[in-house]
């Protein structure tokens, strides 16, 4: 069974049973509430979210199992630039590194527990699906660091540089909205 992907219409499904993904608007984000879960994301997980019931976003867990000063379940995730996705369950591997914004450091599993992200499938990370190094600019120490906060060399011209800050669900919702040209949710102003 495959799940469709539009809140009000079934997906094109290549012959298997078509099921609608039920979603409802969130009072806190532009991301729709799809399915609340206690799922613990693992490296290689492909996940999806839906912005305002109109556009799917696809992401991947690149690293997890590390801690920050304020949280135990940190994740390094990618959110991809995608064309119009009709069915997030039809994403094929390998996935080209075409990021909507630099890699994102998340504090927790809240995107899944609040139902904003749904687990699509797990697939081992393949060569070419992840950046060779992750570089973040730390405004606190005015240096470049990796995802664990360890100092790293200055970025080269083709390196993707993120901001070293472990962030929560509302920050990620804002980042996705801004990258897609959607006004941020009114509750974040």
pLDDT in tens, 157-175: 999 999 888 788 889 999 9
> In the chain, what percentage of residues exceed pLDDT 90?
56
Note the pTM of the prediction, 2 decimals: 0.86
Q: How far apart are CA 82 and CA 169, in angstroms?
A: 21
CA 182, chain centre distance (Å): 17
Picking from 94, 107, 116, 156, the residue whose alpha carbon sits closest to that of residue 25 is 116
pLDDT at position 19 is 55
Q: So where are the chain's domains? A: 28-183
């Amino acid at each position: 069974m495959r799940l469709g992907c539009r809140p009000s219409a079934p997906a094109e499904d290549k012959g298997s049973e078509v099921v609608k993904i039920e979603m409802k608007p969130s009072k806190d984000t532009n991301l729709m509430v799809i399915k609340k879960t206690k799922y613990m994301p693992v490296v290689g997980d492909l996940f999806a979210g839906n912005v305002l019931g109109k556009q799917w976003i696809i992401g991947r867990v690149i690293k997890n199992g590390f801690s920050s000063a304020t949280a135990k379940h940190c994740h390094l995730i990618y959110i991809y630039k995608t064309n119009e996705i009709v069915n997030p369950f039809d994403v094929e591997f390998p996935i080209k590194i075409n990021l909507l914004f630099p890699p994102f450091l998340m504090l927790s599993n809240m995107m899944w527990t609040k139902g904003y992200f749904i687990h699509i499938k797990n697939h081992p990370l393949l060569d070419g699906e992840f950046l060779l190094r992750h570089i973040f600019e730390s405004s606190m120490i005015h240096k470049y660091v990796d995802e664990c906060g360890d100092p790293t060399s200055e970025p080269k011209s083709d390196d993707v540089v993120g901001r070293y800050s472990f962030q929560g669900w509302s920050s990620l919702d804002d980042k996705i909205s801004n990258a897609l040209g959607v006004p941020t949710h009114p509750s974040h102003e």
